[in-house]
Amino acid sequence: MSAAMETRSGDAGDSSIEAAAPGGEGLRVITLRPSRTLGRSVGLPIAVLTVPVLAAVLWLVDPVEAWPLIAVATVAVLAVIFTAWVGYRRANASISRYGIVERGFFGGVSTVAGRDIAGVLRVQLYRGNSLDTSQELFVVDRTGRGAFRMRGRFWDGPTMDRVAEVLGVDETAGSEPMTLADLRESNPRLLYWFERRSLSR
């Protein structure tokens, strides 16, 4: 007898919710993967842009003498693109009431134990110098540090809605949209290390 499983897919990438124990609700695990459309919209233009660059190099240099260099550069670029694509496809996060297991873009695996999670914070962040906002979800540990982060460009709202429920913690939503500078001032420990310093200072 197999466990009940519901599989969903959409613009937010593939996700699955499964019950580990037959005949009961069991352990619910949500597995999240990055949006496949994001990979196509970002990766394809990057790959296409390499062709005119290599053609320009071939035009500017002597093709007879430089073809080994161009061949090596082409192979290197293709290897980087392939490695990035594989890393992107393998990235995922599994969430249950026991915590979070995240496989990052570069292959590293990080875990956050459920007992260390204090809650979930949802905010609307302005994108750069525009009035457009993006949803951001932060899983906050008991020391106030951001233990896990979900960006709206990778996951959609309904997917984020399930995180606090599955983890079994409270969710707090910001009442007003804020800039990255506002968040840096109020909760710097939620941000990545490179976001904690302003380039304007």
By the 10 Å C-beta count (0-12 exposed, 13-18 middle, 19+ buried), 147 is classed as buried
Which of 175, 104, 112 lies closest to 145 in space, CA to CA? 112
> CA angle, corner 16, sides to 14 and 17, nearest 5?
155
Residues 108-156: tens digit of each pLDDT: 899 999 999 999 999 999 987 778 898 999 999 999 999 999 988 877 7
For residues 15 and 29, the model is more confident at 29
Residues 169-185: tens digit of each pLDDT: 999 998 899 998 899 99
Determine contact, residues 154/35, Cβ cutoff 8 Å: yes
pLDDT band at 106 (very low <50, low <70, confident <90, very high): confident
pLDDT band at 25 (very low <50, low <70, confident <90, very high): low
Mean pLDDT, residues 3-22: 41
In the predicted model, is pLDDT for residue 189 greater than 70? yes
Determine contact, residues 95/167, Cβ cutoff 8 Å: yes
The whole-number pLDDT of residue 114 equals 94
Q: Is 161 left (phi over 0), alpha (psi -120 to 50) or beta?
A: alpha
Which residue ranges make up each domain of the chain? Answer: 5-34+91-195, 37-89
CATH of 5-34+91-195, one of 1.10.3470, 2.30.29, 1.10.760, 3.40.50: 2.30.29
| pTM of structure | 0.69
Residues 34-52: tens digit of each pLDDT: 776 666 666 667 767 777 7
Which of 166, 170, 169 lies closest to 25 in space, CA to CA? 166
Residue with tokens 């310093």: 197
In the predicted model, is pLDDT for residue 63 greater than 70? no
In the predicted model, is pLDDT for residue 21 greater than 70? no
Order of strands across the sheet that contains 171-173: 146-151, 133-141, 117-126, 171-173
Give CA–CA dist 101/48, Å, rounded.
Answer: 34
Which of 79, 115, 110, 83 lies closest to 97 in space, CA to CA? 115
Average per-residue pLDDT for the chain: 78
